[in-house]
Amino acid sequence: MRSWRLSSTAYCLAVLFCNNSALAAAPVVGGTVCGKACRQTFRTLRFSDAPDWVFFAVQECTSRLYQQSVHLCWEIYCSEDVWILEINQTCQEIDGSQFPTHDIIAGLTDEDVVQIARFNATSPDRVHPFAQLMLPSRAFYDLWGRTLDAHGYIWDKHYYYGWAMGIFWAVVVAVGVLNRALIQWEACRPRAFRTQQRTDVWFKRNILAPATFGRRCVQDFGGWGTLPPRVRTLTLTLFVLINIVCAVYGYRFFEGYGYYPTIGMQILRYVSDRTGIISFANFPLIWLFGMRNNVVIWLTGWDFKTYNNFHRWVGRLAALQAIIHSVGYTALIL
């Protein structure tokens, strides 16, 4: 057990002072998220021992009331040591100081902690600076813990799904390379040893060679576009489906979210972020597939028409995603 933990009596009294139902539903967060959650609750508070109207980071480094309050928040709500290296780096840049250690609250008794006022998002009002220690209510802390947990989850999905675009086409190219290698290997074998399995014949007749529909491999639709052979259509259909799934899956929205309180604002912000990131991830593919002499043509042996078809569809999706990104952010700002 950490030597600087307050006694269990103080913890229980603090919990009883807060909302017990909120405690029961509290998310379990790690030290880093817990530390940030405590800091976020204090962002709208000003303490009287900090310079007037300074940025929050300056208050973190100069206000002893804030420093004691946030250490108490970590003491009561966090289940493990809080990493404060980030704050130390900020304080070093601002005034060359160090954020104090947990010993700053060593002189506070259990009774002192129980008497400290609690605050939430709206109460008490923030008109005047506070000249006393403050602590967030359990419900307010839980809100920010849940917010930061959801925020991290969503941004992890943003990056994973952005990388998924490149991984998909890497797999497609790898299949093409393997197919070309097998063809070359089969061609190099003596004719007497060459075999063609019935499954190979079926695959070529039904997947690789035929048109998507009908008899023509590339069908024109009155100037609206062309439908490529079946294997390309299946590849592009799968890519479109992956883009749709990546754009709509992997979010955690809830009312009261710390950064954007309404569901509508959260959708606008994070769907715009997601589509922007995926669109950006698709742009190198547009450039790669659009070149007549690119390395993947040489690796797979597929002709330029195949990659030009990929180029067009990746470009269409990237353009649509960029439009959604722009419209979403415009609506959020307005």
Domain edge (last residue) among 105, 136, 167? 136
48 shares its domain with 195: no
* pLDDT band, very low/low/confident/very high, at 180 (cuts 50, 70, 90): confident
38 shares its domain with 165: no
45 shares its domain with 68: yes
78 shares its domain with 193: no
Give the pLDDT of residue 23. Answer: 30
Give the pLDDT of residue 232. Answer: 86
172 shares its domain with 224: yes
In a domain, 144, yes or no: no
228 shares its domain with 261: yes
Domain edge (last residue) among 114, 136, 158? 136
Give the pLDDT of residue 20. Answer: 34
In a domain, 2, yes or no: no
Give the pLDDT of residue 286. Answer: 96
83 shares its domain with 223: no
In a domain, 142, yes or no: no
What average pLDDT does the chain have? 83
Give the pLDDT of residue 201. Answer: 52
196 shares its domain with 324: yes
3-state helix vs strand vs coil in the chain, percent to 5 = 65, 5, 30
Angstrom distance (rounded) from CA 198 to CA 277? 44
Q: How many domains does the chain have?
A: 2
Mean pLDDT of 283-287: 95
* pLDDT band, very low/low/confident/very high, at 126 (cuts 50, 70, 90): confident
47 shares its domain with 183: no
Give the pLDDT of residue 189. Answer: 66
In a domain, 143, yes or no: no
Give the domain extent around 180: 150-333
121 shares its domain with 169: no
In a domain, 236, yes or no: yes
- What pLDDT digit, counting tens, does each position of 191-219 carry? 655 555 555 555 555 555 555 555 555 55
Contact between residue 106 and residue 4 where contact means Cβ atoms under 8 Å apart: yes
Contact between residue 74 and residue 139 where contact means Cβ atoms under 8 Å apart: no
183 shares its domain with 314: yes
Q: By three-state DSSP, how is residue 227 classified?
A: strand
Angstrom distance (rounded) from CA 74 to CA 246? 36
